Chains A and B, each alone.
Chain A
Amino acid sequence: MVAASGLGKRVDTAAGPLDILADIDLQIHTGEAVAVVGVSGSGKSTLLGLLAGLDLPSSGDVWLANHHMNVLDEDGRAQVRGQLVGFVFQSFQLLPGLTALENVMLPLELAAAPGPRAQAMQLLERVGLAGRLTHYPKQLSGGEQQRVAIARAFSMRPAILFADEPTGNLDSSTGETVIELLFELNREQHATLVLVTHDEALAARCERHIRLEAGRTVPASAAP
């Protein structure tokens, strides 16, 4: 479902070129739940950006469900993202100008899917926010905002879900509830999950770990 070969990202700094990522080879299969782990600055988020087609690599190739991402242009990659990919971010990234319902409807509307309102209402009910449809993000707690973001991520029934530190801005018990929801929905929809985290406990819930150290993969154990 997701594949990378010889993937590298180099940036120019004042001290000369710097490899943020180098020689990454990986394969993630359909339905798999994979955690990308590593300390701060190890290149986790950069890898996520490259795999999801948000950024272009300096070297190597990325395939997303047979789409060769690094040969597509920005609008081509956007189209693939819209059709196949869901995102959950640490900072929720809801549009402040739209209500909870409208935020969830947005990907459906962008893709011109039929009945966006009914689908979105169903999903918000599923994440326990049936009573918060017309609230704006500002009027919701952090946990509620992340639940809206999860509902939005699953609204297009994505083949792949990328989650970037989804509990990073939440307290532990709220984080627990949100993660529970994320994994439940992931199982229901048989989506492939790529989860970036530095939280070992969260990573432990995934089937496989990809560990990054200074921009390179190091051998990692399968989940227990």
Chain B
Amino acid sequence: MNQATRWRLAMRLLARDWRAGELRILGAAIIIAVAASTAIGFFTDRLGRGMVNQSADFLGADLVLESPRPVALAWLDEARQTGLVTSEALKFSSVVVAGERLQLAGVRAVTDGFPLRGRLRTAAGPFQTDAEDSGIPASGEAWAAPRLLTRLGLNRGDTLSVGEQELVIRKVLTFEPGQAGSPFGVAPRLLMNLADVSATGVVQPGSRLTYQYLFAGTERDIARYRDWLKSRLGPSHRLVGVQEGRRAVGTALERAERFLGLAIMAAIVLAGVAIAMAARRYSERHFDMSAMLRCLGASQRDLLALYLAQLLVLGLLASAVGCLLGWLAQLGLLALLAELLPMAPSATSAWPVLAGLLTGLVVLAGFALPPVLRLKRVPPLRVLRRELSPLPGNAWLVYGSAIAAVVLLMWRYTDSAKLTLAVLAGGAAAGAVLGLLGFILLALGRRLHGRVGVSWRFGLNNLWRRRHTSVSQILAFGLALMAMAVIALVRSDLLATWQSQLPVDVPNHFAINILPDQVEAVHGFMAARKVPTTQIYPMVRGRLVTINDAPVRQAVTKEAQSDNALNRELNLTWTTELQEDNRIISGRWWRVGDSGRPLVSVESKLAERLGIEVDDYLGFTVGDEAFSARVASIRTVQWDSFRPNFYMVFPPGVIEHFAATYMTSFHLPPGDKPMLMELVRHYPAITVLEMDLILAQVERIFRQVTLVVEYVLLFVLLAGFAVLFAALQASLDERLYEGALLRALGASRRQLRSGHLAEFITLGALAGLVAAIGTECLAWVLYSQVLHFDYQFKWPVWIAAPLLGAVLIGAAGYRGTRPVVERSPVLLLRER
């Protein structure tokens, strides 16, 4: 057979099989696998490209220098001499007041020229169409984010005050470059003119401020200036270039891809199972044709080429459709996350499409190739003796190729052999356990056999007779339902726990930036209003720079190098009394006489991450001054107690000479919020963090993220349906024949249909039961080991999961077995 003949024949056979409905399940399973993987592919590709294209726009400059204090003017002169354009800004958090309302805002005060790259976007009113804006707020004016206006009940033209300065809202701020690093930023934004800052009274020694210096220029000039600047930077300075900006978002994106990718792998593996089932049936239905072709002189090579060509074309076509659906699914994903995304997605590249096509082909090769390879070994004598079939495929080949395909695809998401193997082993173990569970339940169900009516007996019989495929379906749906149930449970419990874990009088507000000379007055202010506060702690901003005299980045493990604690200033404090909820786990707390000795107590989780032990020497810098202290103790801290807590605690007399601000926390019932207004009016430098509002924001983010995970899990459920329909298709001939026989023997259509319904309702309920058991176990581990919640029996899952399974699978199975009663029994029996 020549090449052209093979192709022609292959395409003719493919078209015919497609029209006859032989390839629908195979095609659908490929489509699901590809759509699932490309949805994630498009999503991360578009965001990734958005990040690369827009990082300068997002940063607002080509290079940004951040410092807690103003930098030497010479540095800026040098930038200008190098040929760079510069602009300055000041970032701080402040409680903004309007009438009787107040709201913590992220304020940025800017000068002309801001931003140097990208544009601000503003709108005339909240939730109106926005446009690029080339100006900045004039003196006496402010631009506010829609959320800030809503919270304060303000409109354009109204007045608000930042500290002691009143500002008129001129525009609604919809996008502000330089906020890319904090997509989950909690406080709504306010933009004002730098000239107004001094009048606010917010800037005081020790205030938490970030001075920003923006630079823009050619790549060469930027690099030159960067080199010049690098050697002059102190530990409290932070230099953010386009790359660093990218890295922060990039890491988040990579994690998202990795996590969603693993969820997607479950869908791909299930789709693979459906593909294997469908391919097996395809192969068996082509034995006769293969024998005839051999009889007519086709060589094994001819047969192989004929079938591979069909598989290839089917794979490519189905993958293309999958890519299209993946594109649509990705739009949904972006819509769900729209509020949280730090950047607008870019147009996609060809990569996700290419990866999608490859995914389709790899899944097809891994799961469909072994049964199709069998076709070339069909003995030609089958034309005379129909009972002759090729030997079943080698089990090593069948499972080996499937596992190879899964490993190959998983590698793409995990990017690590170790993680791939771990996930694979974990998945296999979970599959084995759930499968065994399904099998046991199936066997128990069979026990009911003698006690139920004829339809149920018929249904239960069918399940048991095809127990291998039954178990695979129970597993497929059990897995999908379990994953969804766990996510739903964790979400609702986490939210409920957050709310209920805040006993009535736990502090729900933090006041920070209290100036030293205000400590007594604030104390008095609170006492006069009968608001109990926790102890007032001093805070000194400093950086951890060395561990045992080695620069901190060299002293810690690779993973710890990106630890947030190393990349920002820490709040250092001193106290004599150990906090109530802190516990010393090694070393000792201060004794009398430790005052003034260079000792430090370190929070245990940070110590663990950075490998810090008792008696290590830690070097710090505060401002331009460096000092070191010996680790005297490691402390556990209960962060969720909502009391002021610190990574580093010193004895009195070690850091007292540095400029400090003070913080405290207190409980305020919702009705007493107006008191905050008074506090802020009296002490404009103080920043009040309202934990109830912050928690509400965290909740919103959490809801959205879990929604995305559930959205992705829908693919797993879809793949479960592919397995169901593949199994149905595989057993259809047998079912048709039995149905015809039963009807010939006098069974009514109704009896047959109730039998089918009983079969699939049982299958669905068992899958739900497996899901409930799995959920219970997984949730128990998660709650007791990871989340540290009190675990309660999850009885709603035991009702909802079997019910959902019974309804979904009952309906799908009922629909799938319709041909059994629709075709004439006479014809069916004659065909046999």
Chain B binds chain A = yes
Contacts of A106 in B (CB 8 A): 9, 293, 296
Count of interface residues, chain B, beta-carbon cutoff 8 Å: 29
In the complex the two chains form, is A49's CB within 8 Å of B384's CB? yes
Contacts of B5 in A (CB 8 A): 109-110, 112
In the complex the two chains form, is B294's CB within 8 Å of A112's CB? no
The interface-forming segment of A28-36, A57-65, A74-82, A205-213 is A74-82
Contact of B296 among A55, A97, A110 (CB under 8 A): A110
Considering only CB atoms, which chain A residue lies closest to B2 in the complex? A112
Instruction: Give chain B nearest CB distance to A21 CB in angstroms.
Output: 14
A154 within 8 Å of B by Cβ?
no
In the complex the two chains form, is A110's CB within 8 Å of B295's CB? no
Binary flags per residue of B375-394, CB closer than 8 Å to A gives 1, else 0: 00001110111000000000
B17 within 8 Å of A by Cβ?
yes
Considering only CB atoms, which chain B residue lies closest to A83 in the complex? B297
In the complex the two chains form, is A79's CB within 8 Å of B16's CB? no
Cα-based distance from A78 to B297 in the complex (angstroms): 4
In the complex the two chains form, is A97's CB within 8 Å of B299's CB? no
In the complex the two chains form, is B294's CB within 8 Å of A78's CB? yes
B164 within 8 Å of A by Cβ?
no
In the complex the two chains form, is B297's CB within 8 Å of A82's CB? yes
Contacts of A81 in B (CB 8 A): 295-297, 380
Considering only CB atoms, which chain A residue lies closest to B294 in the complex? A78
Contacts of A1 in B (CB 8 A): none
B12 within 8 Å of A by Cβ?
yes
In the complex the two chains form, is A97's CB within 8 Å of B295's CB? no
Cα-based distance from A164 to B381 in the complex (angstroms): 12
In the complex the two chains form, is B1's CB within 8 Å of A97's CB? no
Considering only CB atoms, which chain A residue lies closest to B14 in the complex? A97
A121 within 8 Å of B by Cβ?
no
In the complex the two chains form, is B298's CB within 8 Å of A102's CB? no
In the complex the two chains form, is B299's CB within 8 Å of A75's CB? yes
Contact of A97 among B16, B298, B380 (CB under 8 A): B16
In the complex the two chains form, is A112's CB within 8 Å of B1's CB? yes
Binary flags per residue of A166-196, CB closer than 8 Å to B gives 1, else 0: 0000000000000000000000000000000
Cα-based distance from A48 to B383 in the complex (angstroms): 11
In the complex the two chains form, is B16's CB within 8 Å of A98's CB? yes
1-32 of chain B: CB within 8 A of chain A: 1-2, 5, 8-9, 12-13, 16-17, 20
B289 within 8 Å of A by Cβ?
yes
Contacts of B384 in A (CB 8 A): 45, 48-49, 54, 89, 164
Contacts of A49 in B (CB 8 A): 381, 384-385
Cα-based distance from A93 to B12 in the complex (angstroms): 18
Count of interface residues, chain A, beta-carbon cutoff 8 Å: 27
Contacts of A54 in B (CB 8 A): 295, 379-381, 383-384
Instruction: Give chain A nearest CB distance to B384 CB in angstroms.
Output: 5
State whether A109 and B9 are in contact (beta carbons under 8 Å apart), knowing that A78-B294, A81-B296 are contacts in the complex: yes
Contacts of A82 in B (CB 8 A): 296-298
In the complex the two chains form, is A78's CB within 8 Å of B17's CB? no
112-127 of chain A: CB within 8 A of chain B: 112
B257 within 8 Å of A by Cβ?
no
Contacts of A109 in B (CB 8 A): 1, 5, 8-9
Contacts of A143 in B (CB 8 A): none
Contacts of A98 in B (CB 8 A): 12-13, 16
Contacts of A74 in B (CB 8 A): 294, 300, 380
Instruction: Give chain A nearest CB distance to B310 CB in angstroms.
Output: 11
Considering only CB atoms, which chain A residue lies closest to B289 in the complex? A95
Cα-based distance from A28 to B91 in the complex (angstroms): 103
B88 within 8 Å of A by Cβ?
no
B292 within 8 Å of A by Cβ?
yes
Instruction: Give chain A nearest CB distance to B569 CB in angstroms.
Output: 74
Considering only CB atoms, which chain B residue lies closest to A90 in the complex? B384
B141 within 8 Å of A by Cβ?
no
In the complex the two chains form, is A78's CB within 8 Å of B383's CB? no
A204 within 8 Å of B by Cβ?
no
Considering only CB atoms, which chain B residue lies closest to A82 in the complex? B297
In the complex the two chains form, is B383's CB within 8 Å of A87's CB? yes
B302 within 8 Å of A by Cβ?
yes
Cα-based distance from A58 to B662 in the complex (angstroms): 99
Interface centre among A79, A81, A83 (most CB of B within 10 A): A81
In the complex the two chains form, is B385's CB within 8 Å of A97's CB? no
Cα-based distance from A110 to B305 in the complex (angstroms): 13
In the complex the two chains form, is A55's CB within 8 Å of B381's CB? yes
Contacts of A71 in B (CB 8 A): none
Considering only CB atoms, which chain A residue lies closest to B388 in the complex? A55
Contacts of B1 in A (CB 8 A): 109-112
A107 within 8 Å of B by Cβ?
yes
B759 within 8 Å of A by Cβ?
no
State whether A93 and B288 are in contact (beta carbons under 8 Å apart), knowing that A54-B384, A106-B9 are contacts in the complex: yes
Cα-based distance from A97 to B286 in the complex (angstroms): 10
Cα-based distance from A54 to B9 in the complex (angstroms): 23
Please give the residue numbers on chain B whose beta carbons come within 8 Å of chain A beta carbons, in ascending order. Answer: 1-2, 5, 8-9, 12-13, 16-17, 20, 288-289, 292-302, 379-381, 383-385
Sample of 25 A–B contacts (CB below 8 Å) = A45-B384, A54-B380, A54-B383, A75-B299, A75-B300, A78-B297, A78-B299, A79-B297, A79-B299, A81-B295, A83-B297, A87-B295, A89-B384, A95-B293, A97-B17, A97-B20, A98-B12, A98-B16, A102-B12, A107-B296, A110-B293, A110-B296, A110-B297, A111-B297, A164-B384
- 4 tightest A-B contacts by CB? A82-B297, A97-B16, A109-B5, A75-B299
Extra A-B contacts (8), CB below 8 Å, given A75-B299, A82-B297? A54-B380, A93-B292, A97-B12, A106-B9, A109-B9, A110-B5, A110-B296, A112-B1
